[in-house]
Structure 1
Amino acid sequence: MTTAISRRERRISPVFLGLVAIMVVSAWAVWTDYSASPGFAVFLFVVSGWVVSLCLHEYAHARTALHGGDLSIGAKGYLTLNPLKYTHVALSIVLPVIFVIMGGIGLPGGAVFIERHRIQGRWRHSLISAAGPLTNVLFAAALTAPFWLGSADQVPLVFRFALAFLALLQVTAAILNFLPVPGLDGYGVIEPWLSHRIRRQVEPYAPFGLLAVFGILWIPEVNQVFFDAVDAIMRAMGVSQFDTYFGQEFFRFWQGEPQFPGIGGLSS
């Protein structure tokens, strides 16, 4: 089924490779404490890592759609992992990065455009929608491996904090994306199983689903429940609030480096 996709359509974009290079170099700078400003290195690592995860999220949608029968995916450039090829660059990349900088929350981005009429079978449609947030889950599991493997103490402290905060973003993105709200991937999972009448009634509200979710998250009680759930998941992976808190503090380097014993020459 994938033989109609040319090598050029599958070639990884230099833009994505550049993002990976920034992520690797900044990770090295954080690990070795090479940078004069560990906060700035953490910022570069988290932002580049977050954009890389967004690219992988959208790629997972596209790749699953390709195997489901939508051969138009290749011509659209989605298999190159180039974020500039997405149908909504602002929603897929720009807004999520702004939300990370402003509030430390993983915003679900816009999706690739999939020609659903080419795909047969409700399970395939559900899997296409689930593939994106499942990628965030896998990314979070990989980032937190030192924690749940019990080897976090062998990781340099600031790098540990950076891993924890980047993993937190993946967990928040996965939770939000899996909500069964029109416009989010969670609704895409259940939509094929709904009646045609319900789908038609819900369709006009899809563009406003994400806005509604974030509006509700401004309610203090809802916000508390949401982050309690996030913290519970992080603890299950061996990551403490201490780690994620200082990860976010170092990420916000423009506010000054956090006062923590043993980092950057600070004393208790």
Structure 2
Amino acid sequence: MAVDASRRISPVFLGIAAVTAAAGWAVWRGGAGTGLAEGAAVFVFVTGAWVVSLCLHEYAHARTALHGGDLSVADKGYLTLNPLRYTHAVLSVLLPVLFLVMGGIGLPGGAVFIERHRIRGRLRHSLVSAAGPLTNALFALVCTAPFWLGALDGVPAGFRFALAFLALLQVTAALLNSLPVPGLDGYGVLEPWLSERARRRVEPFAPYGLVAVFVLLMAPEVNQVFFGLVDGVLGALGVGDAESACGRDLYRFWRAADPVCAYAAGLGVTR
């Protein structure tokens, strides 16, 4: 039976996934054996996998909304996993990638446009919002599976570090997006259970919620607490601080490498 075009996986997404897989293979094989080549492969692999996770995040929102009663998500192209079809393509993909490159942090993407009036029941509304960060949490579990399964034998150090850094991005995205702050999915989970009066009072602050969170993260005390929580989650999944830090170091291949990370990854040289 032919698949409806509105639900067929986009060639754009398949192309991104293919490039990501090829870069992952290059990281596994050690690239061309130089620091720059290894770092460039890590950069493409992590960035590609991050974009894939952003697409899955938005798809999860749309798919849950579809089952909740909003059939319009199919017509909007949200079920094709095509990042170009999202309502807020800049917020959903471009801005998170920019923050990844500049600061190495998993920025939550902007949500797809859901026609909430089509969805009945507060629980369904909450599930639509929760689907995104839960997808990031699941992605983190997949990335860290070799760690918590104790299956790291034979996994090259560079690939292990890249997975650790990718897992860090997923955990930060899941935690940030789960905050009960207007404009984030955590508030979307809570909102259906608030009174109409409370929702009206909070609504004007929604566009500034994410900005406020990042301003707070600039405070050393808040930053330390948040990333302490991130490290705690990663530690529970078997990922050490040094592994995610070395993954970030390899990802930023245009900067001088930490000699310890370069040696551990088997590069044999420093950048």
Which TM class, normalised by the smaller chain length? over 0.9
CA distance in 2, matches of 1:266, 1:177: 38
| One-letter identity of the residue aligned with 2:63 | R
Indicate conservation of the 8 Å contact 2:144/2:239, yes or no. Answer: yes
Q: Which residue of 2 aligns with 1:119?
A: 119
Q: Which residue of 2 aligns with 1:238?
A: 238
CA distance in 2, matches of 1:97, 1:235: 25
CA deviation profile, 1:216-241 (whole Å, cap 9, x unmatched)? 00011000000000000000000001
CA deviation profile, 1:15-74 (whole Å, cap 9, x unmatched)? 100110011000000001133410000000000000000000000000000000000001
> Shift of residue 133 of structure 1?
0.4
CA distance in 2, matches of 1:203, 1:173: 23
1:30 maps to which of 15, 27, 30:
27
The percent identity for this pair of structures is 66
> Shift of residue 152 of structure 1?
2.0
SS of residue in 1 equivalent to 2:259: coil
Q: How many residues are aligned here?
A: 262
> Shift of residue 199 of structure 1?
0.2
Indicate conservation of the 8 Å contact 1:39/1:257, yes or no. Answer: no
Q: Which residue of 2 aligns with 1:136?
A: 136
Q: Which residue of 2 aligns with 1:10?
A: 7
| Correspondence list, 1:34-113, <5 A | 34-35=31-32, 36=34, 37-113=37-113
Question: What TM-score comes out, normalization by structure 1 length?
Answer: 0.96
CA distance in 1, matches of 2:153, 2:173: 27
CA distance in 1, matches of 2:113, 2:258: 42
Indicate conservation of the 8 Å contact 2:8/2:80, yes or no. Answer: yes
Q: Which residue of 2 aligns with 1:176?
A: 176
Question: What TM-score comes out, normalization by structure 2 length?
Answer: 0.95
| One-letter identity of the residue aligned with 1:22 | V
SS of residue in 1 equivalent to 2:107: coil
CA distance in 1, matches of 2:82, 2:256: 33
Structure 1 runs of 4+ with >6 Å offset: none
Indicate conservation of the 8 Å contact 1:42/1:162, yes or no. Answer: yes
CA distance in 1, matches of 2:234, 2:18: 27
> Shift of residue 256 of structure 1?
3.5
Q: Which moved more, 1:30-39 or 1:235-244?
A: 30-39
- The two structures, once aligned, show a CA RMSD in angstroms of 1.2
CA distance in 1, matches of 2:101, 2:258: 16
SS of residue in 2 equivalent to 1:264: coil
| Correspondence list, 1:240-255, <5 A | 240-255=240-255
| One-letter identity of the residue aligned with 1:68 | G
| One-letter identity of the residue aligned with 1:49 | A
> Shift of residue 266 of structure 1?
4.3
